[in-house]
Amino acid sequence: MQLATQHGQRLHGRALDGIVLGFAGFTLLCHFAVAFELGLDHLILLAAACLISAILIGWKWRHRTLHQSREEDHKPPLPTLRSPETYSSSFFIFGLAGLGTGLHFLTESLIGYWICGIMACTIALIQTSKVHPVQHRSAPTRIQLGLLAALGGACAMAVAFSHHGDSDDAFYVNLSVWALDHPLSPLLPGDTLHGFEGIPMSLPVFKVLSYEIFQAVLARLSGYPAITVVHIWMPPVMAFLIPFAWARLAILLLPGRWIFVVTLVIALLFLLGDGHASYGDFGLLRLQQGKSVLLLVGLPLVASYGLQFGLKPNPKHFIQLAAVQIAAIGLSTSALWLAPTTALLAMSSAVPLRGNSLSKVTKDIGVGLVTCLYPVLIALSMRGDTLRAFSEAVHPLPSLEWTGTQFMNHSLNMVSGQPYAAGLLLFCSLAVLGVPGTTLFRRYAGFVTGAFLILFFNPALARLVANQITGVDTYFRIFWLLPLPLFIAAVFSAPAENMGEQNQFKHSWTHWAGAAIGVALLLWIPQTYTLAPSNGVRMGWPGPKPPIQEFKAAQRIAAHASEGDFVLAPTAVSRWLPLLQQHPAPLVVREMHLDRLHERLGPEELFRRRLLTNWVGGGAKPNGGSKILEGALAEYPLKAVLLSGPALQQPELRKTLLDSELQVDFRDPDYELWVRKAKRKPSPQSSKRDSHLE
């Protein structure tokens, strides 16, 4: 039984390791392909050759690795060490957490909370610096592995049957769509939304993405359209990995109650759906995007690999830590700073500060820093162009002028969504420092929370961090440095810390009572659950995520226009056109993407595009609207025009279309589609792929 359990533990652990190493290798190949302007088919051949080589090398070293893992399995488990002062100081830290949270509610300022947080972190780090952090080996039982699989299945089912369209898909999914449509053209060449060549991407750092290219590879090999892979296949697979990724971290930090913690983490994903950037809303509902995979799968693994390297620096852990950071930047450009920061904090919290010479500690941390070189060097090489893109934007973001406290308050609101959820996040972020647990857990919580408060969530530094590191529109992602679901779960599962120890069973009713109170609070605090219809979620069979009517309208347009054609449609529909193979180019996909055409087309043309798009979407008639539309119909020429809402009742707009070469192809109470009926030879490849969406 014990050997079977150990085998199961090795199996699921190796599966995660294999996924990380494999995707890291694919990310490196993508960067190579982009640098040398290779196409999707070239990348597939290159990846196949590397995969065969990796299998041969892995087979050669298989017996050696298996022998080493069996030796480690027979080593006795190390004890869980706790600081002797933990229990005496817990109430004081809880008091600081409550005081800081209360000050935020009373003053609507985060200054008081920040001061309380610095004090709490100082106390926690002073205590834990006196004890050597060790790893407590807690092997999952068969029942626990089964529970993890059940939790993964629940996440996968929820993601598969819930639909929450996100406008960012217009960019991210289109990366896969374009690569699939042009398998021999260079990958990630620039803007692929508006029908013009030679226009660079809005930000150069997007060229490091590989997750979207991986989805294009799957679509190419399977023959299905990219949206089928991106919206139907991959999100449930990534969702299934969520509990296993968090279990990897929880086993290291909270070995005595890790299964309670992971269960609560998954529950939190379903409960906390208030904030636009909450773990549930941003993570669970948008797993078709790599940045959400980074949040729920990538960063927990980065932290766990960092802890493993800090506890036991060796070549295996070095490779794993380097690989997981490379894999992370393939998921999201935010990983260029998030991955090395998360890895460094985890590694540093696990390196013993006492009992070792300063030279050894410095050497271990220095070797660990080498694993961060790849993302750091990429970030530094692209930093100038990225900052220039923000500063020279046609319409600069208003947040560029915010103060540090404005950034802090906005980021908290993005993650929490409402005051009670904000109070929960703020309180648990500090209260976790006083929760009983292993020295490793308390040191990790102290290091991460301390660095978060001192370097990132600091009124004096927040504006600098937003402008120079995170980006002003993504400053809220500093909260991703904190494994908030695990911290909240650790606080609410604290009554279960000693449930299995001797002489604790007679008090087990108090533990269960405390846990029940915690669950009740978690059920009461959210105003909107993640999968609730009020959160914009539509439940239905697995399929494309966009709203049904809007996506059908986009498909109707794509049935009459293909790549190389220009179309006019409201942004509620045009933003979904780039998700289709061989899609036509809308005059406006999204407002935020239009500025990249400024140098090519000029401000007058962009203004005309905005006017027409607003008009056909039901906006007010612009001055000289008929002449502007007549010019667009003839100059582009427009292959299709879609009217919606009040635009259906505007006689001048309809008269202009009646006098043109366009004819009504479809009409219902919401939309009216006008198309140019010229004969066009359909693309067999496009017809075959888009037929899968019917």
Final residue before a domain boundary, out of 489, 508, 524: 524
DSSP H helices in 332-418: 335-350, 358-370, 373-391, 404-416
Classify the C-alpha dihedral 248-252-255-260 as positive or negative: negative
Among the listed residues 5, 392, 362, 330, the one whose alpha carbon sits nearest the alpha carbon of residue 172: 330
Confirm whether 563 is domain-assigned: yes
CB atoms within 10 A of CB 509: 9
Query: 516 and 557 share a domain?
Result: no
Confirm whether 113 is domain-assigned: yes
Domain coverage including residue 232: 2-75+95-163+203-524
Query: 263 and 301 share a domain?
Result: yes
- Per-residue model confidence as pLDDT tens digits over 370-381: 999 999 999 999
Among the listed residues 634, 631, 640, 583, the one whose alpha carbon sits nearest the alpha carbon of residue 611: 631
3-state helix, strand, coil in the chain (%, to 5): 70, 5, 25
DSSP track, 168-207: THHHHHHHHHHHHH-TTSPSS-S--SSS-SSPPPSSGGGG
Interhelix angle 2-35/62-73, rounded to 10 degrees, is: 140
Long-range contacts of the stretch 112-116 (C-beta < 8 A, 24+): 113/426, 114/453, 114/457, 114/458, 114/459, 116/430
Query: 10 and 123 share a domain?
Result: yes
Query: 487 and 556 share a domain?
Result: no
Final residue before a domain boundary, out of 524, 556, 574: 524
Query: 494 and 564 share a domain?
Result: no
Confirm whether 535 is domain-assigned: no
**What's the longest Cα–Cα distance across the chain?**
88
Query: 70 and 121 share a domain?
Result: yes
Query: 624 and 508 share a domain?
Result: no
3-state secondary structure of 644: strand
In the chain, how many domains are there? 2
Query: 486 and 567 share a domain?
Result: no
Cα–Cα distance measured from residue 205 to residue 333, given in angstroms and rounded to the nearest whole number:
6
Query: 519 and 596 share a domain?
Result: no
Instruction: Please determine, for residue 44, whether its predicted confidence score (pLDDT) is greater than 80.
Output: yes
β-pair partners for 672: 643, 667
Query: 508 and 604 share a domain?
Result: no
Query: 469 and 388 share a domain?
Result: yes
Confirm whether 537 is domain-assigned: no
Single-letter amino acid code for the residue at 76: P
Q: 62: pLDDT confidence band, cut at 50, 70 and 90?
A: low
Confirm whether 317 is domain-assigned: yes
Confirm whether 476 is domain-assigned: yes
Confirm whether 532 is domain-assigned: no
- Per-residue model confidence as pLDDT tens digits over 466-509: 989 998 889 999 999 999 999 999 998 877 665 444 444 444 56
Q: 511: pLDDT confidence band, cut at 50, 70 and 90?
A: low
For residue 582, what are its two tokens? 């061989």
**Which segments of 485-550 are extended strands (E)?**
538-539
Q: 78: pLDDT confidence band, cut at 50, 70 and 90?
A: very low
Final residue before a domain boundary, out of 491, 524, 557: 524
CB atoms within 10 A of CB 197: 9
Confirm whether 533 is domain-assigned: no
User: Which residues contact residue 194 at a Cβ distance below 8 angstroms, ignoring those fewer than 6 apart?
Assistant: 585, 586, 589, 593, 596, 597
Q: What is the percentage of the chain residues whose pLDDT exceeds 90?
A: 58
Query: 324 and 359 share a domain?
Result: yes
Question: What does the pLDDT read at residue 355?
Answer: 57
- Per-residue model confidence as pLDDT tens digits over 292-339: 999 999 999 999 999 999 999 999 999 999 999 999 999 999 999 999
pTM beyond cutoff 0.75: yes
